[in-house]
Amino acid sequence: MNPFVKIRRDLHLIPELGFKEFKTQAYLLSYIETLSQERISIRKWKTGLFVKVQGLNPMKTIGYRADIDGLPIDEETGLEFSSLHNEQMHACGHDFHMSIALGVLTHYVNNPIADDLLFIFQPAEEGPGGAEPMLKSDIMQEWKPDVIFALHIAPEYPVGTIALKEGLLFANTSELFIDLRGKGGHAAYPHLTNDMVIAACSLVGQLQTIISRNVNPLDSAVITIGKITSGTVQNIIAERARLEGTIRTLSDESMDKVKHRINAVVKGIETGFECEAVIDYGSMYHQVYNNEEITRDFIQYMKTQTTVEVIECKEAMTGEDFGYMLKEIPGLMFWLGVDSTYGLHHSKLDPKEEAIDVAINILTSYISYQGNR
């Protein structure tokens, strides 16, 4: 078996949530320590890692980032190497991201180039967000790369395909949590209560009017409420309700406007339903913005390669905290085709493992081109 496919399967067995990736960190370290240590420097950061590979005659540092956390999802793939952890799964492909990064790292330990390389194994991409604090860490400030790259698996594209574009690739995102508190009571006496089920239902409908009536139709924004929790039993009017969701926009300005309108709508719910409301915007991820010059160079180079097809795609409402790194360090992210029937964050996501070698080969080819010129 391809060693990096085996690594992917090993990591798929042990998904862990953000900042709890203890087994994952230990596994990564155990593999990296099998490599020649002559040119390697390793530093831990919380549950993540920085791994620097010294170049032969460095003029710059090239960075590569892989995220390492899983999602709170019960796996339903039926694979022999399905998750051993209840309600935790690598349903966003971070097991692929890590195995690819280890493949590229292994190549450069054995085949050093002129420039230094920095491999960043980042925790908590799915939440609460590891990229921004990792970027601000003392280690990153000391080893900060001059350019940085990353990829994300794409179930909708076939193996052997990569997709990207100059400029905006992924949206600005923000979590959204709204807690409502009214007055509960017996179902037979609704006039003596303030029903938070009714308030929550009204609020969900009003939130959608923000997109249809407050955002320019030529712009793009999304408010999704993915979870509502309220009530205890069928004959008690609910005193509390909690809405959990996400906001996604293609500009900082739209994000500000959407949040301003959410604040106003929620105040209206407070008045109309005589209740209390608390809004928490949780973690916010900055847009993924690919450096135009670097992306043009990358696309031109990849179009000379016979092993991969390059698609110049549209921007997506996907969120990725790699955007914080691209905000300070020029670079790019691209989609890697893995051809899965089921999409990202699905309990049956099953990416094709042939994509691992495709990614390792194109990345080592391009990084060598970058690092020896």
* Percentage of the chain exceeding pLDDT 70: 100
pLDDT value of residue 243: 98
As for how many domains the chain has, the answer is: 2
pLDDT value of residue 372: 75
Does one domain contain both 152 and 36? yes
- Tell me the two tokens of residue 35: 């490599």
Q: How many CA atoms lie within 13 A of 248 on its CB side?
A: 17
362: domain CATH number is 3.40.630.10
273: domain CATH number is 3.30.70.360
Does one domain contain both 162 and 272? no
- Tell me the two tokens of residue 80: 């022999």
Largest CA distance in the chain: 80
Q: How many CA atoms lie within 13 A of 315 on its CB side?
A: 21
Q: Is 117 helix (H, G, I), strand (E, B) or coil?
A: strand
How do residues 231-253 score in pLDDT, each as one tens digit? 999 999 999 999 999 999 999 89
Distance CA 8, CA 24 (A): 11
Does one domain contain both 325 and 359? yes
Does one domain contain both 42 and 134? yes
Q: How much is the mean pLDDT over the chain?
A: 97
In the predicted model, is pLDDT for residue 373 greater than 80?
no
Domain holding 177, by residue range, is: 172-284
How do residues 70-80 score in pLDDT, each as one tens digit? 999 999 999 99
What CA–CA distances, in Å, run from 342 to 91, 136, 141, 314, 339?
A: 10, 35, 39, 20, 9
Does one domain contain both 248 and 358? no
Q: Is 185 helix (H, G, I), strand (E, B) or coil?
A: strand
Phi-psi region of 321 (alpha: psi -120 to 50; beta: other; left: phi over 0): alpha
Does one domain contain both 15 and 120? yes
- Tell me the two tokens of residue 336: 């890697």
Of the candidate ranges 115-129, 210-224, 322-336, 341-355, the one whose mean pLDDT is the lowest: 210-224
Task: Indicate the pLDDT class of residue 218, thresholds 50, 70 and 90.
Answer: confident
In the predicted model, is pLDDT for residue 370 greater than 70?
yes
Block residue for tokens 């010294």:
54
- Tell me the two tokens of residue 49: 């890692």
Does one domain contain both 21 and 89? yes
Distance CA 111, CA 80 (A): 34
Which of the 8 DSSP states describes residue 217? T
**Which residues are annotated as catalytic?**
67, 126
**Domain boundary, last residue among 233, 250, 284:** 284
pLDDT (mean) for 362-367: 98
Does one domain contain both 341 and 291? yes
How do residues 83-103 score in pLDDT, each as one tens digit? 999 999 999 999 999 999 999
**Domain boundary, last residue among 253, 284, 315:** 284
**Domain boundary, last residue among 259, 284, 309:** 284
Distance CA 217, CA 157 (A): 28
Distance CA 166, CA 228 (A): 38
pLDDT value of residue 256: 95
Does one domain contain both 183 and 158? no
Strand order, beta sheet including 309-312: 40-45, 48-53, 116-122, 61-67, 147-154, 331-337, 161-164, 309-312
What CA–CA distances, in Å, run from 79 to 12, 288, 291, 334?
A: 10, 32, 38, 27
Does one domain contain both 319 and 277? no
How do residues 246-300 score in pLDDT, each as one tens digit? 999 999 899 999 999 999 999 999 999 999 999 999 989 999 999 999 999 999 9
Q: Tell me the one-letter amino acid at 197.
A: V
Task: Indicate the pLDDT class of residue 371, thresholds 50, 70 and 90.
Answer: confident
Does one domain contain both 37 and 122? yes
Does one domain contain both 181 and 163? no
Q: Tell me the one-letter amino acid at 356.
A: I
Q: What number of other Cβ atoms are within 10 A of residue 25's Cβ?
A: 20
In the predicted model, is pLDDT for residue 310 greater than 90?
yes
